[in-house]
Structure 1
Amino acid sequence: MPAKQWPGVRPSILSNYAFDWGENDEHAVIALGHVSIYNHSYRPNAQLVQLPVELMMEVVALKDIEPGEEITINYNGDPAGRDPLWFTRKR
């Protein structure tokens, strides 16, 4: 969504499913499909990669993922990122 539309979405529950987008994170996107239900981990086994020309995101495995293993991503974007999240994690 264009940057000018983001202020209208930010206060809604949809913001929990939005990802920064663009060279300077000036836009936001809402991913559909399985990506929208991947849980956060500070030790993720996958990463989201932006494909700006295709206007898509690709899920890339960071290690072998066993059958039945949950796919997790770091909500900070960087798999090694340790910045606090906007919500309290359950342990």
Structure 2
Amino acid sequence: MILPILHIALSDNRGRGVFASEPIAPGTIVEISPVLVLGAEDRQKVETTLLYDYIFEWGNDSKGACVALGYLSLYNHSYNANCVYEMDYDADTMRIITVKPITAGEELFINYNAEPDDEKPIWFEAK
């Protein structure tokens, strides 16, 4: 499920991103998408490819990973994110939920650290 008011467009200096065409209230589930689950061994292989920048850690021990379908891999990172992501390990799905008001035309961001205001440097900034 992807709300029909979301669309993909170019994001300043970030490639593509997810944008809203209408205002969205905080607490709105804007996307629920299936994931392809990878075990620890497959995760190690994928981490040597271009997909490394698009996978999410998966499982209670975080040893696995997943490839998220839908728009999920196109949400850009911000330390001041306006959305969060939640994982449902039983259903093999992920949800994107707004945590701040979104205006029409605004880009939706998640914090790749999994917490909206966690400012620990992420992998591509720590290089």
TM-score by length of 2: 0.66
Q: 3-state DSSP class of the match of 1:33? A: coil
Q: 3-state DSSP class of the match of 2:66? A: strand
The Cα RMSD (Å) is 1.4
Tell me which amino acid in the other structure corresponds to 1:29: C
- Give the equivalent residue in structure 1 for 2:110: 73
Hey, what's the Cα distance between the residues in 1 that align with 2:65 and 2:46? 10
Hey, what's the Cα distance between the residues in 2 that align with 1:17 and 1:32? 10
Of structures 1 and 2, the larger Rg is shown by 2
For the pair 1:45 / 2:87, whether they are aligned, the reply is no
For the pair 1:22 / 2:59, whether they are aligned, the reply is yes
CA shift at 1:79, angstroms? 1.2
Structure 1 or 2: larger strand share? Answer: 2
Percent identical across equivalent pairs?
36
Judge which range, 54-63 or 30-39, deviates more: 30-39
Q: 3-state DSSP class of the match of 2:60? A: coil
Unaligned runs of 5+ in 1: none
- Give the equivalent residue in structure 2 for 1:32: 69
CA shift at 1:35, angstroms? 1.2
Runs of 4+ in structure 1 deviating by more than 2 angstroms, as ranges, are: none
Bigger RCO of structures 1 and 2 (CA < 8 A, at least 6 apart):
2
Tell me which amino acid in the other structure corresponds to 2:122: L
